[in-house]
Amino acid sequence: MNKEWPLWEVFIRSRQGLDHKHAGSLHAADAAMAIENARDVYTRRMEGVSIWVVESKHIHASNPDDAGALYDPANDKAYRHPTFYDLPDELKHM
Protein backbone atom coordinates (compact mmCIF):
# COMPACT_ATOMS: atom_id res chain seq x y z
CA MET A 1 0.00 0.00 0.00
CA ASN A 2 1.23 3.46 -0.82
CA LYS A 3 1.42 5.35 2.45
CA GLU A 4 2.27 8.71 0.91
CA TRP A 5 -0.64 11.11 0.70
CA PRO A 6 -1.28 12.36 -2.85
CA LEU A 7 -0.12 15.76 -4.01
CA TRP A 8 -2.61 18.58 -4.56
CA GLU A 9 -2.32 21.87 -6.40
CA VAL A 10 -3.74 24.88 -4.59
CA PHE A 11 -5.36 27.90 -6.21
CA ILE A 12 -6.22 30.96 -4.13
CA ARG A 13 -8.40 33.91 -4.99
CA SER A 14 -7.07 36.84 -3.07
CA ARG A 15 -9.96 39.27 -3.50
CA GLN A 16 -13.52 39.29 -4.76
CA GLY A 17 -13.55 39.82 -8.51
CA LEU A 18 -10.03 38.53 -9.14
CA ASP A 19 -9.31 35.08 -10.50
CA HIS A 20 -7.81 32.12 -8.68
CA LYS A 21 -4.04 31.95 -8.93
CA HIS A 22 -1.80 28.98 -8.43
CA ALA A 23 -0.32 29.28 -4.95
CA GLY A 24 1.63 26.05 -4.61
CA SER A 25 1.13 22.41 -3.75
CA LEU A 26 0.75 20.25 -0.67
CA HIS A 27 0.02 16.71 0.52
CA ALA A 28 -3.39 15.62 1.81
CA ALA A 29 -5.40 12.42 2.13
CA ASP A 30 -8.48 13.82 0.38
CA ALA A 31 -10.07 17.01 -0.92
CA ALA A 32 -11.50 18.13 2.43
CA MET A 33 -8.12 17.80 4.10
CA ALA A 34 -6.45 19.50 1.15
CA ILE A 35 -8.65 22.58 1.60
CA GLU A 36 -7.94 22.69 5.34
CA ASN A 37 -4.22 22.26 4.75
CA ALA A 38 -4.31 24.97 2.09
CA ARG A 39 -6.01 27.28 4.56
CA ASP A 40 -3.25 26.64 7.08
CA VAL A 41 -0.32 26.71 4.71
CA TYR A 42 -1.28 29.39 2.18
CA THR A 43 -3.74 31.83 3.79
CA ARG A 44 -1.98 32.62 7.08
CA ARG A 45 -1.31 36.19 6.06
CA MET A 46 -4.77 37.13 4.77
CA GLU A 47 -3.99 36.02 1.23
CA GLY A 48 -7.33 34.54 0.36
CA VAL A 49 -11.09 34.61 0.16
CA SER A 50 -11.53 31.40 -1.80
CA ILE A 51 -9.57 28.17 -2.24
CA TRP A 52 -9.61 25.60 -5.05
CA VAL A 53 -7.68 22.36 -4.82
CA VAL A 54 -7.14 19.75 -7.50
CA GLU A 55 -5.15 16.57 -7.33
CA SER A 56 -1.92 17.13 -9.18
CA LYS A 57 -2.36 13.95 -11.24
CA HIS A 58 -5.43 15.50 -12.88
CA ILE A 59 -3.43 18.35 -14.31
CA HIS A 60 -2.18 17.70 -17.82
CA ALA A 61 0.68 19.89 -18.85
CA SER A 62 2.11 20.73 -22.25
CA ASN A 63 5.48 19.22 -23.03
CA PRO A 64 8.34 21.76 -22.99
CA ASP A 65 9.92 19.88 -25.92
CA ASP A 66 6.93 20.85 -28.05
CA ALA A 67 7.41 24.53 -27.36
CA GLY A 68 8.70 25.22 -30.86
CA ALA A 69 5.70 23.73 -32.61
CA LEU A 70 3.19 25.12 -30.15
CA TYR A 71 4.29 28.71 -29.71
CA ASP A 72 6.75 29.82 -32.35
CA PRO A 73 4.20 30.00 -35.20
CA ALA A 74 2.49 32.86 -33.34
CA ASN A 75 5.63 34.98 -33.49
CA ASP A 76 5.07 36.60 -36.89
CA LYS A 77 1.28 36.94 -36.78
CA ALA A 78 1.06 40.49 -35.52
CA TYR A 79 -2.35 40.83 -37.19
CA ARG A 80 -3.79 38.68 -34.44
CA HIS A 81 -3.36 41.56 -32.03
CA PRO A 82 -6.26 43.98 -32.13
CA THR A 83 -3.96 46.93 -32.78
CA PHE A 84 -5.25 47.95 -36.22
CA TYR A 85 -8.37 49.76 -35.13
CA ASP A 86 -8.78 53.51 -34.72
CA LEU A 87 -10.33 54.02 -31.34
CA PRO A 88 -12.55 57.03 -30.70
CA ASP A 89 -11.05 59.44 -28.16
CA GLU A 90 -13.94 58.98 -25.72
CA LEU A 91 -13.06 55.35 -25.25
CA LYS A 92 -10.84 54.88 -22.25
CA HIS A 93 -9.28 51.83 -20.63
CA MET A 94 -8.76 49.72 -23.73
Partner 1 sequence: MKNQSLIDYTLHLADNALIIGHRNSEWCGHGPILEQDIAISNIALDLIGQARNLYQYAAELKGDHATEDSLAYLRDGWDFKNLLITELPNGDWAQTILRQFFFSTYQYFLYQQLQHSKDERLAAIAAKALKEVTYHLRWSSEWVIRLGDGTDESKQRMEKAVEELYAFTGEMFLPTDYEKELATNGISVGPESLKEKWTDKVRSVFEEATLASPFKENNSAWMQSGGKEGKHTEHLGFVLAEMQFLQRAYPGAEW
Residues in contact with partner 1 by CB under 8 A are 5, 26-29, 32-33, 36-37, 39-41, 44
> From the CB of 31, what's the least distance to partner 1, in Å?
12
C-beta closer to partner 1: residue 5 or 13:
5
> From the CB of 20, what's the least distance to partner 1, in Å?
20
C-beta closer to partner 1: residue 29 or 59:
29
d(CA 9, CA 32): 13
d(CA 70, CA 60): 15
Non-local (6+) Cβ contacts of 20 within 8 A are: 11, 12, 13, 50, 52
Query: Do the Cβ atoms of 11 and 30 come closer than 8 Å?
Result: no
> From the CB of 26, what's the least distance to partner 1, in Å?
5
